[in-house]
Copies of this chain bind each other. A is one copy, B any other.
Amino acid sequence: MVALFSEIFSPMPNLTLEEVARQAGVSRSTVSRVINNQAGVKADIRRRVWDVIHETGYHPNPAARTLASQRTHLIGLVIPRSVHTFFTDPYFPRLTLGIAQACNQNDYTLSLFLFHTEDDERKLFPRIIRKGLVDGLIVQATNAADELFVQLSQAEVPFIIAGRPMNLTDASYVDVDNFAGAQNAVRHLIRQGYKRIGILSGPLNTTAGLDRYQGYRDAIRENGMALDEHLLVEGDFSEAGGYFAARRLLDSRPDALFIASDMMALGALRAIREARLSVPDDIGIVSFDDLPPATMASPTLTTVRQPIRRLGIRLVETLLDIIELGPYPPRRVIFDTELVIRESCGADRNIREQTNIPRQSAPGLADAN
């Protein structure tokens, strides 16, 4: 009863620096130095202070810290309104994972800003770019985000772009080598002997969509093959988009497809199945991403792997660097991709025919990328 009474009527006062200092027999300043790992405190005092900190379970108050130091230790992840695939494409959860991990690693907290409606955007954006909410922002690149980037630059909020922005700006970004990845994928199809290779591209008003298209185009050309405009259909990176685009593509009778995302490949497989064609015998496929769906599809997808998690980690690290040292010179990081060969391109079959290697079954949830 007494305990209960005291709990209610004399709540434990908030543990402050001052209180820790008192218990350790030193001053506020000294405890602050210890907490922040600053030099200039004798070793034994430092230890004594740490002891009290651990005993009491003291954690500094973030708001007070922020107010005094002008650093929030918060990073914002901004998904602009135009990225509607956030809720269907496994790409984003994976990217978020990498970002979240890197934040933990660096004692930063991650805030999520999803602009779902135009209203969200109008209301939220001014608040976000006002100094004092976050130390910096990671912004997903989109066709429509370029205006955001200008505003961000003007507001002098440190930020970095996930993916390459459409118009060359002074902004920093981290991206994968979409061009080389696509080129490599198409070269692989050509080596498999496919002759009439179509492309189910991403939106051509995004750099990811465009770069992958150009990689396809160059690989076709360098092999003296003809570019047939009927063999290009533009998708939107989604499964549904892949399905409808593939239905149109099939009319032009390709014998192979380069598909700009795994999700679209899933849709394409559905369309191909409905057309009673078989992969890879009637149509070879190479896609892009290497996300879990690639191993879930039947046949399993040969696909260009992006190191998505590492991309997330690097985004955070580079952003912290920008926060520390300013936005100039712009940082630009491009990750290499890797072609992962599975069943949909026919290479696996060819190898097995020659050497009798057993087919690899779909693995469980590997923790790669």
- Interface: A41 (CB within 8 A): no
Chain B residues closer than 8 Å to A274, beta-carbon distance: 298
Q: Which of B74, B270, B362 contacts A240 (CB 8 A)?
A: B362
Residues 104-140 of chain A, each 1 if its beta carbon lies under 8 Å from chain B, else 0: 1000011111101000100110110011110000000
Residues 271-298 of chain A, each 1 if its beta carbon lies under 8 Å from chain B, else 0: 0011000000000000000001001101
B126 touching A100 by the CB < 8 A rule?
A: no
A63-B132, A267-B296, A270-B296 as given contacts; A112 in contact with B93, CB under 8 Å: no
Residues 75-93 of chain A, each 1 if its beta carbon lies under 8 Å from chain B, else 0: 0010000001011101011
A326 to B191, CA, bound (A): 67
Q: Which of B63, B74, B243 contacts A67 (CB 8 A)?
A: B63
- Interface: A10 (CB within 8 A): no
- Interface: A66 (CB within 8 A): yes
- Interface: A64 (CB within 8 A): yes
- Among A21-29, A54-62, A347-355, the stretch in contact with B: A54-62
Q: List residues of A (204-253) whose CB comes within 8 Å of B's CBs.
A: 238-240, 243
- Interface: A184 (CB within 8 A): no
- Interface: A94 (CB within 8 A): yes
- A61's nearest neighbour on chain B, judged by CB, is B132
A124 touching B112 by the CB < 8 A rule?
A: no
**What is the CB-to-nearest-CB distance from A278 to chain B, in angstroms, rounded to a whole number?**
13
A123-B104, A296-B267 as given contacts; A96 in contact with B114, CB under 8 Å: yes
A84 to B110, CA, bound (A): 19
- Interface: A364 (CB within 8 A): yes
Chain B residues closer than 8 Å to A295, beta-carbon distance: 240
A100 touching B87 by the CB < 8 A rule?
A: no
Most B Cβ at <10 Å: residue of A77, A93, A238:
A93
Chain B residues closer than 8 Å to A143, beta-carbon distance: none
Chain B residues closer than 8 Å to A267, beta-carbon distance: 296
- Interface: A266 (CB within 8 A): yes
A112 to B126, CA, bound (A): 21
**What is the CB-to-nearest-CB distance from A174 to chain B, in angstroms, rounded to a whole number?**
19
A97 touching B116 by the CB < 8 A rule?
A: yes
- Interface: A344 (CB within 8 A): no
B88 touching A292 by the CB < 8 A rule?
A: yes
A266 touching B109 by the CB < 8 A rule?
A: no
**What is the CB-to-nearest-CB distance from A17 to chain B, in angstroms, rounded to a whole number?**
13
Q: Which of B132, B240, B365 contacts A238 (CB 8 A)?
A: B365
- A57's nearest neighbour on chain B, judged by CB, is B126
A94 to B87, CA, bound (A): 6
14 interchain pairs, CB-CB under 8 A: A14-B131, A57-B126, A61-B132, A62-B132, A88-B93, A88-B292, A96-B112, A100-B114, A100-B116, A104-B123, A109-B113, A239-B296, A240-B362, A240-B365
- A239's nearest neighbour on chain B, judged by CB, is B296
Chain B residues closer than 8 Å to A153, beta-carbon distance: none
Chain B residues closer than 8 Å to A66, beta-carbon distance: 63, 66
Chain B residues closer than 8 Å to A243, beta-carbon distance: 296, 362
- Interface: A72 (CB within 8 A): yes
Chain B residues closer than 8 Å to A364, beta-carbon distance: 240
- A132's nearest neighbour on chain B, judged by CB, is B61
- Interface: A318 (CB within 8 A): no
Most B Cβ at <10 Å: residue of A113, A243, A365:
A365
